[in-house]
Chains A and B, each alone.
Chain A
Amino acid sequence: MPFHALTVALALGLASFGGSNESARPSATSTLAAARVEWNARNAEHLLNRAGFGARPAEIEAAVSEGQQAFVDQLLAGFVAEYEPFSVERFERPDRDELAGMDDAERRELVNEVQRHNRRQLAQFAGWWVDRMLESRHPLRERMTLFWHGYFTSSARDVRSSAAMIEQNELFRTKGLGRFGELLSAIVRDPAMLEYLDNNQNRKGNPNENFAREVMELFTLGEGNYTEQDIKEAARALTGWVTRRGEAAYVKGRHDSGKKTILGVTKNFDPDSFLALLLEQPACPQWLAKKLLVHFEGREPSTARVEDYSRFLKSKDYDVSAFLRRLFLDPEFYSAEVVGARIAGPIDYLVGSARRLSVEPPPTLLWLAAGQLGQRLLEPPSVKGWDGGQAWITTSTLMQRGNMAGMLLGVVKLEDVLRPEVLDEEPESDGGGALGPEMGGAGDEDGDDAMRPESKPNAKGDKPTKKKNAPGKAGLNGELGQMSRMLSDGYVPAINLCVRMQRAGAQSDAAIVERLADELLAVGLTPESRAGLVEFLAAERETLGVADGGLLAAGRGAETLLRRLAHLILSLPEAQLS
């Protein structure tokens, strides 16, 4: 849509408020006035942070020179639209025929083997996905895949088939920028979803309400926009679709074809006509518009803003691309209340930090690390997905973020994080029960080595980790062990911060702090943080015996010091915003 058309659409949308809502007025003014605000590095970086996963300096420059309209178009279409899908293998549970004639041990072994294959494939796929976040030429598609993954959640903890989980993710990737109705229709026959929300147990005469409830509560309308009776009836409408060995099947005999009364309408609802009814409800575009606004703006939108975008979404037949295009051209999206004010989720923090640092960690490592920080891709915590915002940050996860950044920079080792306490009453600490099951975030304690990628076998550098007498399950033998192996097994942060600072012309302590922070952060430094960093850098530079301005020529010690500085910068409160 050309610019003038957008303005007209906005004006029409606002006019239909009839001036009844005062809060709409200032936004109308600011919309028109700010629409002419220049397309600069700040705004381009903001768009890249939100539509993708963090911006490198060269990408910001390219976006600015492209111009806003053209760049938004490119973002929506993808700089390279095609991609090679992950090649999925099916490892399904053996059926009765296959198990017949086996003894218990053989059966167990077969089932375990299937499970191992599934876990391994899932870890490989998670790495593949994180790699796309790091490098894809269509970052918005990966962003939307992540959005839908937290919206239409299913978890590999409940879905046995890794192929089903991967195919659901591919559904988000291929349909996530299209019409919501199509996605919704695909989701009620998505194998992973059917299993996750118990539709396999929902059948004529024996309804199971789980799927119906979540479809209405979390996928379309929101709590308060339906009755308990509506759920009971909707459960009947959703009967019929089941999973068979990881694939969807419609079993006519299971479908309850009788009359149902849902939201005041009585007819022989089936899954599709039920969804059509939901899409007609005024609450539906409001629900989706709000979810999208919260995700992309990182704040609670005003009622007027939700109304405005909801009406637009409805008028475009739930076209997600049209919605995003409007948002990315909306001056309010670039206001001070939005830019740099969102708390980055673990994936945003880790992928963004890796991109801004230009380090290349194994993608599976970032997947595991994000899990430790509370965002395990493919295993969302509940059907509601991740809460996001301030809920990402606890006293623990905040420090663990810094630890992960230190590992990416090579200045922190896992052993530093898990160092046993030195107690004055216990000079010879031999563990003392200080090691627990996991490191910090919401990761699980499952120590299945099958999740280790095959590309990193039990080869050199795979030191047996010390097992301490731990309360709970063993520490380094599980996920932390995998992370430790990945870090020690050939990962080197291939960066030279000294050269980067030199090229940027940053020589003095103050200039280095400023430049490095500018490259690594999505927001500016607060005066307090700037002063603290300069003080730190000056003191440590002096221990190297170098004068202010001469650090970059001081060799290895200088590079290590700059990495420690980068570690501090990525641990700042400011670094959690993007």
Chain B
Amino acid sequence: MNLRPPIAGLSLDRRAFVTGLGALGGLALVSSRAGGAVKLFASELAPSGDAPRVLLLVQLTGGNDGLSTVVPFGDDAYHAARSTLAFAKSDVLPLDDYKGLHGELKGLRKLFDAGRLAIVEGVGYPNPIRSHFKSYEVWHTADPRGRASGEGWIGKLSAAAWRDVSDPNLVVHVGANVPYSLESATHPPAAFVNPASYRWAGEKEDVEAFGKMGETEGAKAESNLDFLRRKVADSQASSQKIRTAVARYRTTTEYPDDPFGGALRDVAALVDGGLGTRVVSVELSGFDTHTNQKARHDALMRQLDRGLSALAADLEKSAAGKQVVGLVFSEFGRRVKENGSRGTDHGVAAPCFVFGSAVKGGLYGKHPSLVDLDAGDVKHTTDFRSVYATLIERWFGVDAAKVLGASYPRLGFLA
């Protein structure tokens, strides 16, 4: 049985052919242990138009402290407000005389220096909500009404951009908690934690019988039963392709040995597998640092940096990988003044990262003032929907107003 998934832009035969030419053509080749398979990193051969553009969403759950991520070490108000949490200039990776990246973000700093990381500062929205859940709803729906406004913003994007595509692997969440941004009646996401077990197990005949229990017709799930019938069909259509893509994936990049690193490796495998996935989402949680923040936040920054650096380096090696743009965001930042327990309480605006080969790196937006505060919080300088609008229009070529319901200024991080 041939379990190979289709490779975008390359037939299997052509792939084998190209492999043969590799040594002469200046291609990077890596042999697998079995010797039969040869992995190809042939960016030169695949014009960038061949692989589909992909958006990766990296959610920092819990409210990441923006002032400990892009650190305003040159601001007296910062040191006055953060008696135990403030970093000195020597602790951070300076971006200019005023601010620098958290000291653990060494890999991201390299990406920044290479022009492939955009830092968007002061990202938030008007009338900010300091509830984790409600604020996430705002981010996930791009609407102040949250869930009451309908589907997630990726759901709306999918409906606008890929209306005729019904592949359940179009939108994929790697992890246990599917974010509401992927909520969609027409393009519901596939989700898995461990691709190795992403299957329904049974005798061959039983698996076939189970495969018939889903409903493939009908776009909208009106009832829970309809919803479940569609999930059965989607799970059948999704699981083997994902398992195979991940099992096949060979890379020389070493990912961190933690769940976040594992999920990012799966992301690279999906992109490499040519499954047609256009949006993929992962989560790093633990950012709700009300007490004794420093050690925990430092560790999270390290984990984030190691994971994203590995992924960025891995994606850099292939044409398909260069077609990935990642957005790193959190539901809110933290209060400027630290609280009485060496932690920080819920705040509002914070920086976002956008990275990838196609990204025009640099600083965007404006670092918010630490003296012109609103009830102890910075005022946002960039609406997060400007970040979304830029991705929607410049990356996917879709009218952002159709997805977001209104027009927002585009930023320059994508051409």
Residues of A within 8 A of B (CB): 198, 201-203, 205-210, 213, 217, 223, 228-229, 341-343, 374, 381-384, 389-391, 393-400, 402-403, 406, 411-412, 416-428, 432-443, 445, 471-473, 475, 523, 526, 528-529, 532-533, 535-536, 539-540, 564, 567-568, 571-574, 576-577
24 residue pairs of the A-B complex, CB under 8 angstroms, read A209-B339, A209-B345, A213-B130, A228-B375, A395-B190, A396-B192, A396-B198, A398-B228, A398-B232, A403-B200, A411-B202, A416-B202, A421-B244, A423-B244, A433-B249, A434-B243, A436-B193, A439-B193, A445-B259, A471-B262, A532-B209, A536-B206, A540-B205, A564-B206
A435 to B232, CA, bound (A): 23
Q: Which residues of B contact A (CB under 8 A)?
A: 1-4, 32, 34, 36-37, 129-134, 168, 173, 176-178, 189-203, 205-206, 209-210, 212-215, 223-225, 227-229, 231-232, 234-235, 238-239, 243-244, 246-249, 255, 257-259, 261-262, 265-266, 290-291, 339-341, 343, 345-346, 375
**A217 close to B231 (CB less than 8 A):** no
User: Within 8 Å CB of A391, what residues of B?
Assistant: 178
* Distance of A329 from chain B, by nearest CB (Å): 25
Q: A390-B224, A400-B197, A573-B229 are in contact. Are A473 and B345 (CB under 8 A)?
A: no
CA distance A437 to B223 in the complex (A): 34
Q: Is the CB of A423 within 8 A of B196?
A: no
Give complex CA distance A398, B134 in Å: 27
- The answer to whether B247 and A432 have CB atoms under 8 Å apart is yes
A208 contacts B176, C-beta separation under 8 Å: no
Distance (whole angstroms) from the CB of A483 to the closest CB of chain B: 12
Q: Which residues of the partner chain B approach A341 to less than 8 Å between Cβ atoms?
A: 223-225
Evaluate whether A213 and B131 lie within 8 angstroms (CB atoms) in the complex, with A398-B235, A421-B247, A536-B209 already known. yes
Say how far B212's CB is from chain A's closest CB, in angstroms. 5
A154 to B201: give the CA distance in the assembly, Å. Answer: 35
Using Cβ atoms and an 8 Å threshold, which residues of chain A touch B133? 223, 382, 384
Q: A249 to chain B: closest CB distance in Å? A: 17
- CA distance in complex: A208, B265 (Å): 38
Complex contact A471–B255 (CB within 8 A): yes
Are A436 and B262 closer than 8 Å at their CB atoms? yes
Pair A427/B247 contact, Cβ less than 8 Å? no
Question: Which of chain A's residues have a CB closer than 8 A to the CB of B213?
Answer: 528-529, 532, 568, 571-573
Partner of B202, one of A412, A523, A526: A412
The verdict on A203 contacting B3 (CB below 8 Å), with A223-B129, A393-B228 known, is no
Cα of A402 to Cα of B407 in the assembled complex, Å: 45
Contact A576 B228 (CB under 8 A): yes
Known: A412-B201, A472-B258, A475-B196. A394 touches B225 (CB 8 A): no
How many angstroms between the C-alpha atoms of A436 and B195 in the bound complex? 7
Bound form: Cα–Cα A436–B205 in Å: 27
Residue contact B346 to A213, C-beta cutoff 8 Å: yes
Nearest CB of chain B from residue A457's CB, rounded to whole Å = 27
Q: Which of chain A's residues has its CB closest to B335's CB?
A: A209
Query: How many Å lie between the Cα of A437 and that of B192 in the bound state?
Result: 12
> B266: shortest Cβ distance to chain A, in Å?
8
CB-contact partner of A437 in B37, B194, B255, B343, under 8 A: B194
Which residues of A sit under 8 angstroms from B189, Cβ to Cβ?
A: 394
* Partner of A532 from B177, B199, B212 at Cβ < 8 Å: B212
Contact of A421 among B34, B243, B346 (CB under 8 A): B243
What is the bound-complex CA distance between A341 and B32, given in angstroms?
A: 50
Chain B residues within an 8 Å CB radius of A417: 197, 199, 201
Tell me which residues across on chain A come within 8 A of B224, comparing CB atoms.
341-343, 389-390, 577
Minimum CB–CB distance from A442 to chain B (whole Å) comes to 3
Tell whether, in the assembled complex, residue A434 and residue B246 are in contact, meaning their CB atoms are under 8 Å apart: yes
A423: chain B residues within 8 A (beta carbon): 3, 37, 244, 247-248
Judging by beta carbons under 8 Å apart, are A395 and B239 in contact? yes
Q: Which residues of B contact A441 (CB under 8 A)?
A: 176, 193
Q: Kindly report which residue of chain B lies nearest to residue A403, judged by CB atoms.
A: B201
- Set A205, A398, A418, A421: member contacting B3, Cβ < 8 A: A421
Give A407's nearest chain B residue, CB to CB: B201
Besides the known contacts A403-B201, A425-B37, A434-B195, 17 further A-B residue pairs in the complex with CB atoms under 8 A apart: A198-B343, A201-B290, A228-B375, A395-B190, A395-B239, A396-B193, A396-B239, A420-B247, A424-B4, A425-B34, A434-B246, A443-B176, A471-B261, A532-B209, A564-B203, A573-B228, A574-B225
Cβ-defined partner of A395 (8 Å) among B177, B229, B234, B262:
B234
Asked whether A436 and B194 contact (CB < 8 A) given A421-B247, A423-B244, the answer is yes
Q: Name, among A205, A343, A384, A423, the residue most crowded by chain B CB atoms within 10 Å (CB to CB).
A: A423
CA A563 to CA B176, docked complex, whole Å:
29
- Residue from B133, B234, B249 with most neighbouring chain A CB atoms (10 Å): B133
**C-alpha gap A372/B283 in the complex (Å):** 17
Contact of A416 among B201, B212, B231, B235 (CB under 8 A): B201
Q: Which residues of B contact A420 (CB under 8 A)?
A: 196, 247
C-alpha gap A302/B143 in the complex (Å): 23
Is there an interface contact between A422 and B3, defined as CB atoms closer than 8 Å? Answer: yes
Q: Which residues of A contact B131 (CB under 8 A)?
A: 213, 217, 223
A223 touches B134 (CB 8 A): yes
